[in-house]
Structure 1
Amino acid sequence: MAQVEIWHNPRCSKSRQALAILEELETPKSIIKYLESHPSKEDIKKVCKMLGCQGARDMMRTKESIYKELNLQDETDEERLFGAMAEHPKLIERPIIIKGTQAIIARPPEKAKEFLNS
């Protein structure tokens, strides 16, 4: 199996569960702790496309307090939304698993098994 990348937040139970699935399947992986090593706006845009998102908001955690503090609920500028995720990676939905040119948000974590076996 080819190596996958997981955008992981160790404090998130769903992210830990997805990582455990990767380990159980003995999947070669690169673990990106995206809260520590902020992905660039360009990286986020690339992953958004891999996810098949219609726009930035499809991969955002809209219930985070920073989302409301930055008044992003009324924002229509996609570049600003991507920029907000790059500046505040807590806004990025998790966990994201990337395999080749495709990616998924592994919620629920069991989606990881299906994705890896496809």
Structure 2
Amino acid sequence: MAELKILHNPRCSKSRQTLTLLQEKGYDPVVVEYLKQPLSEAEIRELFAKLGLDDVKSMMRVKEAEYKEAGLQQADTSDDERFAAMAAHPKLIERPVVINGDKAKIGRPPESVLDIL
């Protein structure tokens, strides 16, 4: 079985709820506090592929000040610019994310991660 991981921010209620849900289901995921241990741009690109999303913005916290300050809401912003911004500002990555092998899911709502277990 693949190693189960959660990209976790302990200050986020959804992140805490998702971690609790996994533990209640008998899982003991590796907890990665991604604000303290930032992902590289390559890791973020790999995560995007595992999420199976069509749009990079779908894995971003578009309401964060850094998003608007960096001009990432502009229609001509490239995916490369968005990936670079998430590497530079990890708080722009939507949370929590549960990773199970080659699949990943954003825990909004927390129950949505059960699909990949």
- Give the alignment's TM-score, normalised by structure 1: 0.92
Q: How many residues align?
A: 116
Deviation at 1:2, TM superposition (A): 4.3
Residue segments in structure 1 that go unaligned for 5+ positions in a row: none
Matched residues in 2 for 1:107 and 1:16: separation? 12
Superposition CA RMSD, Å: 1.3
8 Å CA contact retained: 1:21, 1:113: no
Structure 1: 4+ residue segments shifted above 6 A:
none
Deviation at 1:3, TM superposition (A): 2.8
- Give the corresponding residue for 1:82: 83
- Give the corresponding residue for 1:40: 40
Q: Secondary structure at the match of 1:97?
A: strand
Residue segments in structure 2 that go unaligned for 5+ positions in a row: none
8 Å CA contact retained: 2:103, 2:116: no
Residues 15-34 of structure 1: pairs in structure 2 closer than 5 A = 15-34=15-34
Deviations 1:35-77 (A, max 9, x none): 0111000000000011011232120010111111111101421
- Give the corresponding residue for 2:102: 101
- Give the corresponding residue for 2:112: 111
Matched residues in 2 for 1:113 and 1:53: separation? 17
